[in-house]
Amino acid sequence: MHDNQTGDERVRVLVADNTTIHTQLLANALKQDHGLDVVGFDSDFRSLVATVASHRVQVLLLSSNLGEDPQLAFQVLRTLQGTYPGCRAVILLDSSKREDIVQAFRAGARGIFSRHESIDSLAKCIRTVHDGEIWASNTQMSFAVEALASSPTVRAVDANGLSLLSKREMEVVRSLSEGLTNREIAERLGLSQHTVKNYLFRVFDKLGVSSRMELLFMTMSSSSPTQSLLPSLFLSDKGYGDNEVTLAICQRAAEEGIPLAQFTLAKTLAARKSSPQDLVQAYMWYLIVSEQISRAKNNMNRAMTMEELLEAEQSAAEWMRKTSRIPSSSVENSRDGRKKMADSDESLA
């Protein structure tokens, strides 16, 4: 084993093999290389991306065979690519099938490693990928080049490219924007999960994106109201605390100053309460969105007449009373208060 990195220069590696035993064995073997800081993953694979973030992982060593879903590893890679692009991935392949190799590259893998190779070679692969290089055999690289050469040349560069999608592909994308899983999309549309995955892969190819997150962010720039999918994501009553991709989208949109995302993030964190910090962050976002709404309201207030303000407040109060959002007494007080202001202004005129 090599020992050419020490202290803070060590590469932090997260190992996620197909079983807990295999993960532990592989992690223990890699720990013999003192240039690697190795962490073994033994939790639910759906939380893998969140673990990468919490441990500040630099290289993810991931088996291509995770659980019962043959596409799960590639979904994890796409999510990782869109959420934490600073982490590079090496995928462990059980076979040398062309389609698996091409799919791994398309999902964002920087290294392709076969299990029959030595641990020394694997450690070298990890350091090479960490340094920004690609690790693959000549045959594997030729598969990638051939796939690139045969790919369609037309790519969408923004949300207007959604017009390239078929009606069924748009239905899949709209369902995805609501936070539905592949299984839930399949049930809604009467399709198999395999068919849903194929639709998503075609959507990725047509729009030139590599992950669900990139796809959802692309819809944020849509100029057509019928194409805008983001509101359905934020306005849904479904909780997103267990959906790492959707929560990350909400976080990023909130940080970009979108009030709707800020409110949804505050609501989600307050409901999740997985740690005391969730409540702190939730209250922070509530304060931020309240300030933005108050500022926008004041700007509109200055541009409206007293009659327009009174009409708007009466309409709002009536809606809230019908939906039982506020007590009737509060509605009347709000209306009477505004009316008194209007009468006072008339007497001064």
pLDDT of the residue at 13:
93
pLDDT of the residue at 260:
72
Radius of gyration in angstroms for the set of CA atoms belonging to the chain, rounded to a whole number: 26
Q: Where are the beta strands (DSSP E) in the chain?
A: 11-16, 36-40, 59-63, 88-93, 111-114
- Tokens representing residue 246 in the block: 């959707």
Angle at 241 between CA 238 and CA 243, to 5 degrees: 85
pLDDT of the residue at 240:
44
- Per CATH, domain 7-150 is 3.40.50.2300: yes
Split the chain (349 residues) into runs of 10 and give each run's mean pLDDT: 54 89 90 90 75 86 79 79 80 84 86 89 93 89 79 50 80 77 88 88 78 62 43 48 58 71 80 81 87 79 82 85 59 49 45
Quote the DSSP letter at residue 256. Answer: T
CA distances from 112 to 69, 106, 268, 324, 338 (A): 20, 12, 37, 59, 69
Q: Which of 103, 110, 119 is nearest to 89 (CA)?
A: 110
pLDDT of the residue at 217:
59
Under 8 Å CB-to-CB from 29, ≥6 apart: which residues?
A: 119
- Tokens representing residue 38 in the block: 């190795």
Domain boundaries, the chain: 7-150, 153-238, 239-292, 304-348
Question: pTM of this prediction?
Answer: 0.47
pLDDT of the residue at 157:
47
Angle at 155 between CA 87 and CA 75, to 5 degrees: 35
Reading phi first (left if > 0) and then psi (alpha if -120 to 50, else beta), residue 67 is in left
Q: What are the φ and ψ backbone dihedral angles of 313, each rounded to 5 degrees?
A: -70, -35
- Tokens representing residue 9 in the block: 């220069």
CATH number for the segment(s) 153-238: 1.10.10.10
The Cα 236–Cα 216 span in angstroms is 15
Which tens digit of pLDDT belongs to each residue from 84-98? 778 899 999 887 788
